[in-house]
Amino acid sequence: MSKPKKLLTLLIKLFIFSCAQLVPKKKDLWVFGAWYGQRYSDNPKAFFEYINENQKHIKAVWITKDQAIVDQLRENGHIAYLDKGYSGLWMQLRAEFAFVCQSLHDDLYPACISKKTKVVNLWHGLPLKKIMYDVFGEQTVEKNIVGRLFDFLSPYERIRNDYLLATSTETQNTLSKAFRLPKDRVLITGFPRNDVFLKEKKNAIKSVYKCIYMPTFRGGIGTECDLFAQYGFDVEQIDGTLKENNIDLVLRMHPVNKPPEYLINAIKNSSHITIDSTADIFDSIADYDCMITDYSGGYFDFMLTGKPILFAPFDLEKYKQQERDLYYKYEDVTIGPYSYSWPELITRIIEVRSQQLSANYEVCYEQLTNLFHTPLEPEYRSFSEKLFYSLSH
């Protein structure tokens, strides 16, 4: 973008932000956005659907950058607008609450959101890896003259959260520190997306054991994440072994990553290895019998199922040095034995499929679940319901 266009954009945003301070907020108008405006997923989606189904007096509006999402939601009877369209801008200007899972800047049009609108960051998972200020510290852009000038001219770009969600006292402490937010603003309600684990499932007889592999992100947005060939992922051999043992293996990359092209081509003829690229894995995650991960906080969610979780820290030391450090000593918040290659991991999956879990595994599992999850009180039917009443009272 040329300098004149940048200046014009800045002036337009400043004008909108100034108007946002004057526009009265409409009670019970709530706006939602997620994943850079590109996905209908995660905690905002789950809470949006809860509000539409259970709190009819709330006008819930989904804001996105994707016209396909607008069309999809409208077909389902929901309200949705593009973030920079006239109606989308007006809804954001008038909103009483704004819900995001990355940041106000990423998921909505921040110039529209004044300080009179309460920003609730539902976030996108419990952190095993360090996040926010615990990674970057106080941004250096705020410590020099140019940075302070930018901050002054772009007040809508500042990090702002009025509330965050936690799942226990332990996670409340971590998130409070990471976001520089008082503990009383970090609400222990559980995550709306975890409502899927509370729903009763029909005990259908299953012949195939379903495993999902969910590694954490690496690199920047849109980069390939290759944790396969270099760690012994022989497609033909693994597919044959899985077939012999009636096991399906689903590979799910982190939303900011994509699988390597050679892997996509290699598994085209596989009968028991697939790649999941759906918008929201929480639409189906409760259907899996086992989860495999390395450092993804997704395993904290999966603990609520009580089903096996396997850990494959192929590159632990490299990851901590080149990507991000962890909040905990890895061995303290995960359960071994660990797998350091795909052949080891496939053997471990077969063992778990045969219910070969030690008593120590089950004890550790229960201890970690109690540490990271406060049980839902009987007066609430879901985590979403608890969140709603926490915000309403």
Residue 32 DSSP SS3: strand
* Delimiting residues of CATH 3.40.50.12580 domain(s) in the chain: 200-372
264-to-83, 191, 353 alpha-carbon distances in Å: 33, 32, 26
Pairing of strands 309-311, 79-82: unpaired
- Is the bond into 337 cis (omega within 30 degrees of 0)? yes
Distance CA 293, CA 41 (A): 20
pLDDT of 140 reads 42
Beta-strand ranges (E) seen in the chain are: 29-32, 59-64, 79-82, 97-100, 118-121, 163-166, 186-188, 209-213, 223-224, 247-251, 257-258, 273-275, 290-293, 309-311
CATH class of 12-196+381-392: alpha beta
Class of the CATH-defined domain 200-372: alpha beta
Q: What is the pLDDT of residues 202-245, one digit of tens each?
A: 666 678 999 999 999 888 888 888 999 999 999 999 999 999 99
Query: What is the per-residue pLDDT for 144?
Result: 58
Return d(Cα 287, Cα 326) in angstroms, integer.
29
Structure tokens at 57: 């007096």
Distance between CA atoms of residues 108 and 32, nearest Å: 8
CA nearest to 41, candidates 16, 11, 72, 20: 72
The pLDDT, as a whole number, for residue 141 is 38
pLDDT in tens, 60-95: 999 999 999 999 999 999 999 999 999 999 999 999
* Closest C-alpha among 82, 78, 68 to residue 47: 78
Segment holding 253, helix H or strand E: none
pLDDT at 120: 98
Mean pLDDT of successive 10-residue stretches along the chain, which has 393 residues = 72 80 93 96 98 98 98 98 96 97 93 93 94 74 54 68 97 96 97 93 76 91 90 96 97 91 93 94 94 95 96 92 90 94 96 86 95 97 98 85
